[in-house]
Structure 1
Amino acid sequence: MNQYLDVNPEVAQAVAQGKPVVALESTIISHGMPYPQNVETALQVERIIRENGAVPATIAVLGGRLKAGLTKEEIEYLGKQGQAVTKASRRDLSVLVAQGADGATTVTTTMMIAHMAGIKIFATGGIGGVHRGAETTMDISADLEELGQTDVMVVCAGAKAILDLPLTLEYLETKGVPVLGYQTKELPAFYTRTSGLAVDYQVNSPEELAKVLKTHHTLGLKGGILVANPIPQAYSMDADAINAVIDQAVAEADEKGIHGKQTTPFLLAKVKEITGGDSLEANIQLVFNNAKLAAQTAVAYSALS
């Protein structure tokens, strides 16, 4: 066990016994929405995972310790601290641990810590990817590199719609990451169910997802598996309308010189502002939907092990 890693006793017992566990990120708590809505959402996601038969393991860095499975009090702390907590990607971990600092984990670092703790399945909102204009800025999320090398299945609603989705898919293909559409042949675009882009394979049940993951392990293959689970129809936003909003937000980010790890929080906040909060509600509902599918997949995977 990693000397810097603290695994919640319930999570550790479930992993040791081969019971279903689902990892959750903490950036959505600290940087995704205001307090107390962030804490309420995080706790509801954990409840959904439990209701569907799995153990939730929210992941973060607290006091320099890598945490796999937070208490309610720790989630409350992260929610209150908000953006004062470092948004922690791979490059930040060693420094935060050495300094005894706090960090909210992104997709990248959640995958890393989940893997250290023996957790195979992770539910999030949307992954990062290749940003628009990356051919000149080279702004490419570390999430894609992590998916190429860390053995965790990530259940998401596709890549965030603020990104260059065709280039994101090309990058994933280069890294050998299978992109599975859950009951769809098309990549969902976070706020919307469609993007006009094809996934690698359509998969139609949690049992089928579990079988793919089990086979991936049996074959000894490296890297992650991306499951693209469309936002529920009732919360899907109009594609033309949301794309116009995103274009406006991207233009404003360019004008203000915003780049790097500040780009995604700025764009998501700007989209929320322009849509009058509709995008935040969509974001919350798609996370709930992904948590449910991840838990069902973890249960099915546990039955195969």
Structure 2
Amino acid sequence: MEIEFSPQVAKALADGKPVVALESTIISHGFPFPKNMELAEQMETVIREQGAEPATIALINGVIKCGLSVEELTILATSENVEKCSVRDLPSATARKITGATTVASTSFIAERAGIKVFATGGIGGVHRGEEGGNGFDISADLLELSRSRVAVVAAGAKSILDLPATLEVLESYSVPVVGYKTDTFPAFHSLSSGLPLPGTAPDMEALCKIVNMHFQMGLPSGILICNPVPHDHAMSNEEVDTLVDQARFDAIKAGVKGAKITPYILGALNRLSNGKTSEVNLALALNNAKVAAALAARLAV
């Protein structure tokens, strides 16, 4: 698989400097312009402030890019023709020379092959609640890819719209280590905690680095999910989020939305129903995850 690296990312990897992978779906499908462009630039700035090099991953005219220019970020942020590409879509997308945004799954896949050990995102995908999938069987490819791409993924848990107990159960079945950073419960994306206990926890960056290092040293075939809760001053209550999610899910079912369109539809509905509050929380947690991921990458590179 051919990957085109930006000069900055290529140099950082060659010099053994810390690098943090970033997905691009959050730019193309997560927020409207110009907020998506602002987030992309802020995440890269936060990572550089921690001494690491950001590597936003995407497909530009069929070329897999690791590290994007401002012009390429702008294309992702403004174009209406950016396709959402998971792992299964990569062969077709590259052959058709399309411009596509990478998901958690495809970013993890590409990051491992690029030699990048740490990846920051907002929240992972997971198991959808039965009514939304039409047949009660809708599991994100993110979970499978976490089981086979050896990358440390920093996220605020899984998105609030999902079946969180089932998501954790699938991760356990896939033997994916799940570690809470300064928490012993599974974060609920917009909320600090789902109340679900985690199998492992790290009270500080030193402890987290030891766990991640041990994971890689053991040669385990999976990635490792690091759960970093939303910052306290931006967190929403579980009750508030549950009320919004129930209404958003009702709207999705009524509109007949299914499959891959469910997540972006419901997230958009949450933003509308909360008068933009959920999007502001999403921005805050994404930046916080970038900061933690960069600090981790810096420690791992020592």
With structure 2 as the length reference, what TM-score do the two structures score? 0.97
Are the equivalent residues in 1 in contact too, given 2:121–2:154 (CA < 8 A)?
Answer: yes
In structure 2, give the amino acid aligned to 1:182. Answer: Y
CA offsets per residue over residues 232-268 of structure 1, 9 Å max, x none?
Answer: 0100012101111101111111122211111110010
1:135 Cα offset (Å): 9.7
Structure 2 SS opposite 1:61: strand
In structure 2, give the amino acid aligned to 1:257. Answer: G
1:112 to 109, 114, 121: 109
CA offsets per residue over residues 140-177 of structure 1, 9 Å max, x none?
Answer: 00000000111000000000000000000000000001
1:289 Cα offset (Å): 0.4
Structure 2 SS opposite 1:137: coil
In structure 2, give the amino acid aligned to 1:225. Answer: I
Match of 2:233 in 1: 234
1:206 Cα offset (Å): 2.2
Match of 1:74 in 2: 72
Moved over 3 A (4+): none
Residue-pair matches, total: 300
CA distance in 2 between counterparts of 1:280 and 1:43 reads: 17
Match of 1:43 in 2: 41
Match of 1:197 in 2: 196
CA distance in 2 between counterparts of 1:299 and 1:135 reads: 44
Match of 1:178 in 2: 177
Match of 1:213 in 2: 212
Are the equivalent residues in 2 in contact too, given 1:88–1:106 (CA < 8 A)?
Answer: yes
Match of 2:119 in 1: 122
CA RMSD of aligned residues (A): 1.1
CA offsets per residue over residues 13-54 of structure 1, 9 Å max, x none?
Answer: 211222100000000000001001100111000000000110
Structure 1 SS opposite 2:162: coil
Gaps of 5+ in 2: none
CA distance in 2 between counterparts of 1:19 and 1:205 reads: 22
1:207 Cα offset (Å): 2.5
Structure 2 SS opposite 1:122: strand
CA distance in 1 between counterparts of 2:138 and 2:225 reads: 21
CA distance in 1 between counterparts of 2:71 and 2:35 reads: 15
With structure 1 as the length reference, what TM-score do the two structures score? 0.96
In structure 2, give the amino acid aligned to 1:280. Answer: S
CA distance in 2 between counterparts of 1:68 and 1:183 reads: 30
Are the equivalent residues in 2 in contact too, given 1:207–1:301 (CA < 8 A)?
Answer: no
Structure 2 SS opposite 1:292: helix
Are the equivalent residues in 1 in contact too, given 2:134–2:258 (CA < 8 A)?
Answer: no
CA distance in 2 between counterparts of 1:219 and 1:98 reads: 36
The within-5 A match list for 1:19-38 is 19-38=17-36
Gaps of 5+ in 1: none
Structure 1 SS opposite 2:79: helix
Structure 2 SS opposite 1:149: coil
Amino-acid identity (%): 48
CA distance in 2 between counterparts of 1:92 and 1:219 reads: 31
CA distance in 1 between counterparts of 2:182 and 2:73 reads: 33
In structure 2, give the amino acid aligned to 1:31. Answer: H
Are the equivalent residues in 2 in contact too, given 1:181–1:187 (CA < 8 A)?
Answer: yes
1:299 Cα offset (Å): 0.5
Are the equivalent residues in 2 in contact too, given 1:157–1:286 (CA < 8 A)?
Answer: yes
Match of 2:83 in 1: 86
CA offsets per residue over residues 170-199 of structure 1, 9 Å max, x none?
Answer: 000000011111111111100000111011
